[in-house]
Amino acid sequence: MIQVATIGYPRIGPKRELKIALEKFWKGEIAEPELQNTAKDLRKKNWQTQKDNGVDLISSNDFSFYDHVLDTICLLGAIPERYKWDGKAVSLKTYFAMARGSQTSELDVPALEMTKWFDTNYHYLVPELTKDQNFKLSTNKPFAEFEEAKKSNFNTKPIILGPLSFLLLAKGIDGFKTINLLSKILPVYKEIIKKLSDLGAEWIQIDEPILVKDLDSHVVSQIKNTFNELKKASGSAKILVATYFEDLNEEIKDEIFASDIDAVHLDLVRGTKNKNYVKNSKKKLSLGLIDGRNIWKTNLQEKIDFIKSNASGDIIITSSCPLLHSPYDLDLEQKVPAEIKKWLSFSKQKLQELNVIKNFIDQGTHQEELKKNVMDVQDRKTSKLIHDDAVKNRIKIINKSITERKSTYTTRAKVQKDIFDLPKYPTTTIGSFPQTSDVRQARAKFKRGELDEKSYDKFLEEKTIDAIRKQEKIGIDVIVHGEFERNDMVEYFGEQLKGFTFTSSGFVQSYGSRCVKPPIIYGNVFRPNSMTVRWSKFAQDQTKQIVKGMLTGPITILQWSFVRDDQPRKNTAQEIAFAIRDEVQDLEKNGIRMIQIDEPALREGLPLKIKDWKEYLSWSVDCFKISSAVVKDETQIHTHMCYAEFEDIIGSIAALDADVISIETSRSRMELLTTFEKFKYPNEVGPGVYDIHSPRVPSKDEIKQLIQKASKLIDPTRIWVNPDCGLKTRGWPETIDALTKMVAAAKELRLN
């Protein structure tokens, strides 16, 4: 018998209802009961959608007001002292203080650190645990949601983030190993499981995505016992341990399968090795058949064949990972062209796909649906929209003449020094300037057709000229045009490239109330026309200073899109890389002498297992070089990256061979630069000298000190001075103030 399950459903709302309610609540426009009602409504709708679409094991406790790791922090009472928690049931006030910081007279604290959830674009709040950390059941959330569902006649499968993932994703204060707290945390987990079982849960899902990573043997040796302990507390409830995002290593798989838990969830989309664990499995399996983090229709016949030849007995079928990473419902979609829409499947449609598989295998029904799926899948395979031989042929030959600059950095640097004649500690910015409300309004009006193209263009010209004059007045050495014409650094390029399409409804949660709407790459990518020359050239024509051209790199475009799944990601990246190469060449031809190619997402694309890093880094570095190496020695290539731990990948960053790299460093007070020092990073570096995420304006002396600190780590003749990242989220007054101080600091240091 086959059961269809969800292992987590999206929670922000089909129309982002939760986002809207949260933001109103934070502004004080609605009170807590109204927020709670919205949440209740959304949960109920989610359960109903799952039921209506034939889900047998419906999830609960997959809702969150902000983040499920934060929910677990509260559940376990692991709230850091600075939030002044009173030890009673955790209030929304304490909850949001951890999520977003608090600036009231009672409580003036920053938020918990936030970081990427595995290799997705979702961010979680990092638990902070002390050596003598105590845990205590401190919220009712999983129980209340289970009962809430029960009242509406849904018998749900509560989901709890497991103890191993929770501890290993947490930060140990003063560097102690958080896994040492396992014996202390387990009693609370057992209490939670017992309580859920007592309330009548038939299944309890323990999420342990961390098990797909490389774990040291000390951790591996504790897996079996941990799960046995949890099972002991479960009474009549069954325990499903869910792993996802990758394969399980053989030895980890053996430990889980040897434990007493009732079922294991395997990701069969990313985890190709996992497929070997299905045949003759001694445990009940939950098969993650359908891609939970992409938007393509599944080839159902393929999945049916797989089940028929591999699985036997009772199985659960579901998505590869929680549907948190998929948009809600394709029925709401209004923008994607019809011929592409029929290739797509969002969360609700994925449930329907699972149903076809189940019913076709168990009862031989749903033949019409299956037939339709076969047709749509075939249609996509053979569509003319997807295939472009010229593009496919272009990526076939990638050799050194394409990926290498003509001369080495040392030679280039000499040539560039002579022609640019920049002072010591040259100043610049990362690209964008404040996207003030007039900019956003004009764009919205233009998109709605209320502002004609000519007027919009004129408006952008004025904005650009204004930004240039401001930079000249402040005395910035290398200036930028300001990116006023861009909504988003990926969307702007996607809109002009072939092979991309956009949705009206394809939102996925990024963090808290923030959602992103990634473009869809469906076909071979190429650049029919120049994309940025118009604005870079316009800007250069307005000033004697050097204007830096501004592009988004191929890996970042890839990483922040829904990528086609019918060819390797590497090939898609290479196609984008050639499109950017064409743009770089065009900029150079049009008199742009410095070109920045941003790659903030290079690091987050790293595979989860270290054994796969080398391959990824090799093709991603090559992609950057395909884009950049086309220029003459005289043209200076910049790149920019933010918020990454560079230590593991500094070799690859150097291999990009950009003439200048600007990076985030100010929050870590230049600590990051020690990595560059140790590695003897050869090219020029612009360590960010102030944090653009905060409206706070640094003093001139603070900036000076940071530059001086940097100069001890890197040869001062190779240091640039710039903020951490683009300035689009800031206002003009603080931007002018901060940049003026930055320039003054650089000028004073030049005198030494």
Q: Judged by CB under 6 A, which stretch of 378-386, 426-434, 456-464, 612-620 contacts ligand GLN? A: 426-434
Give the residue carrying structure tokens 């408006």.
Answer: 459
Of 49, 50, 20, 54, the residue nearest 37 (C-alpha):
20
432-451 positions binding ligand GLN, by CB under 6 A? 432
* CA atoms lying within 13 Å on the CB side of residue 316: 27
Measured from the CB atom, the residue of 42 and 490 that comes closer to ligand GLN is 490
Measured from the CB atom, the residue of 188 and 725 that comes closer to ligand GLN is 725
Least distance to Zn ion, CB of residue 681, Å: 18
* CA atoms lying within 13 Å on the CB side of residue 188: 25
Measured from the CB atom, the residue of 691 and 737 that comes closer to Zn ion is 691
Which of residues 127, 431, 494, 518 is near ligand GLN by CB under 6 A? 431
Least distance to ligand GLN, CB of residue 282, Å: 48
Measured from the CB atom, the residue of 642 and 689 that comes closer to Zn ion is 642
Rounded CA-CA distance 726/700 in Å is 20
Residue 701: Cβ within 10 Å count = 12
**Contact flags string 457-486 toward ligand GLN, x per CB under 6 A:** --------------------------x---
Known catalytic membership, residue 481: no
Least distance to ligand GLN, CB of residue 535, Å: 13
**Cross-strand pairs, 266:** 287
Which of residues 350, 358, 640, 704 is near ligand GLN by CB under 6 A? 640
Contact between 370 and 356 under an 8 Å Cβ cutoff? The reply is: yes
Task: Give the count of residues interacting with Zn ion (CB under 5 A).
Answer: 3
Q: For ligand GLN, which residue has the nearest CB? A: 726
Task: Give the count of residues interacting with ligand GLN (CB under 6 A).
Answer: 13
Least distance to ligand GLN, CB of residue 373, Å: 38
**Contact flags string 522-551 toward ligand GLN, x per CB under 6 A:** ----------------------------x-
Which of residues 73, 300, 430, 476 is near ligand GLN by CB under 6 A? 430
DSSP states of 443-467: HHHHHHTSS-HHHHHHHHHHHHHHH
Least distance to ligand GLN, CB of residue 121, Å: 13
Least distance to Zn ion, CB of residue 444, Å: 25
DSSP states of 597-609: EE-TTTGGG--SS
Residue 272: Cβ within 10 Å count = 11
Q: The tokens of 643 are what?
A: 């918020």
Give the residue carrying structure tokens 């870590």.
Answer: 668
Rounded CA-CA distance 594/428 in Å is 12
Contact between 635 and 652 under an 8 Å Cβ cutoff? The reply is: no
550 binds, among ligand GLN, Zn ion, none (CB under 5 to 8 A by kind): ligand GLN
- DSSP E strands in 462-545: the ranges are 478-479, 498-501, 508-511, 514-516, 520-526
Measured from the CB atom, the residue of 290 and 689 that comes closer to Zn ion is 689
Residue 723 lies near ligand GLN (rule: CB under 6 A): no
Q: The tokens of 645 are what?
A: 């731990």
432 binds, among Zn ion, ligand GLN, none (CB under 5 to 8 A by kind): ligand GLN
Residue 642 lies near Zn ion (rule: CB under 5 A): yes
Measured from the CB atom, the residue of 141 and 728 that comes closer to Zn ion is 728
Least distance to ligand GLN, CB of residue 551, Å: 9
Exposure string (b/e) for 722-740, b if CB count within 10 Å is 16 or more? Answer: bbbbbbbebeeebbbebbb
574-633 positions binding ligand GLN, by CB under 6 A? 598, 600
364-423 positions binding ligand GLN, by CB under 6 A? none
Measured from the CB atom, the residue of 209 and 600 that comes closer to Zn ion is 600
Of 446, 447, 471, 477, the residue nearest 459 (C-alpha):
446
Q: The tokens of 667 are what?
A: 């929050």
Least distance to Zn ion, CB of residue 598, Å: 7
Residue 642 lies near ligand GLN (rule: CB under 6 A): yes
Rounded CA-CA distance 429/583 in Å is 21
Helix axes 32-52, 347-363, angle to 10 degrees: 30
Q: Judged by CB under 6 A, which stretch of 7-15, 429-437, 648-656, 738-746 contacts ligand GLN? A: 429-437
Instruction: Choose the catalytic residue: 325, 481, 640, 693.
Output: 693
Q: Judged by CB under 6 A, which stretch of 78-86, 283-291, 471-479, 721-729 contacts ligand GLN? A: 721-729
**Contact flags string 587-606 toward Zn ion, x per CB under 5 A:** -------------x------
Burial class (CB in 10 A: 0-12, 13-18, 19+), 393: exposed
Rounded CA-CA distance 523/498 in Å is 8
Q: Judged by CB under 5 A, which stretch of 478-486, 548-556, 642-650, 738-746 contacts Zn ion? A: 642-650
Residue 142 lies near ligand GLN (rule: CB under 6 A): no
Least distance to Zn ion, CB of residue 601, Å: 10
Residue 315 lies near Zn ion (rule: CB under 5 A): no
182 binds, among Zn ion, ligand GLN, none (CB under 5 to 8 A by kind): none
Cα-flanking dihedrals φ and ψ of residue 712, to 5°?
-80, -25
Of 605, 646, 610, the residue nearest 214 (C-alpha):
610
Which of residues 160, 321, 725, 745 is near ligand GLN by CB under 6 A? 725
Residue 661 lies near Zn ion (rule: CB under 5 A): no
Least distance to ligand GLN, CB of residue 64, Å: 26
489 binds, among ligand GLN, Zn ion, none (CB under 5 to 8 A by kind): ligand GLN
237-256 positions binding Zn ion, by CB under 5 A? none
Measured from the CB atom, the residue of 637 and 642 that comes closer to Zn ion is 642
DSSP states of 87-100: SSSPPHHHHHHHHH
626 binds, among Zn ion, ligand GLN, none (CB under 5 to 8 A by kind): none
Rounded CA-CA distance 620/638 in Å is 17
Contacts 24+ apart (CB under 8 A), 666-669: 666/690, 666/691, 666/706, 666/724, 667/691, 667/724, 669/706, 669/709
Contact between 591 and 540 under an 8 Å Cβ cutoff? The reply is: yes
Least distance to ligand GLN, CB of residue 743, Å: 18
Q: Judged by CB under 6 A, which stretch of 174-182, 425-433, 613-621, 651-659 contacts ligand GLN? A: 425-433
Measured from the CB atom, the residue of 506 and 600 that comes closer to ligand GLN is 600
Specify the length of the chain in residues: 752
Residue 489 lies near ligand GLN (rule: CB under 6 A): yes
233-262 positions binding ligand GLN, by CB under 6 A? none
Of 173, 174, 182, the residue nearest 215 (C-alpha):
182
Contacts of 331 (CB under 8 A, 6+ apart): 348
| Farthest-apart Cα atoms in the chain, separation | 83
Residue 725 lies near Zn ion (rule: CB under 5 A): yes
Of 542, 552, 478, the residue nearest 720 (C-alpha):
478
Residue 125 lies near Zn ion (rule: CB under 5 A): no
Measured from the CB atom, the residue of 575 and 598 that comes closer to Zn ion is 598
Residues that bind ligand GLN (CB under 6 A): 430-432, 483, 489, 550, 598, 600, 640, 642, 725-726, 728
Catalytic residues: 693
Where along the sequence are the contacts to Zn ion (CB under 5 A)? 600, 642, 725
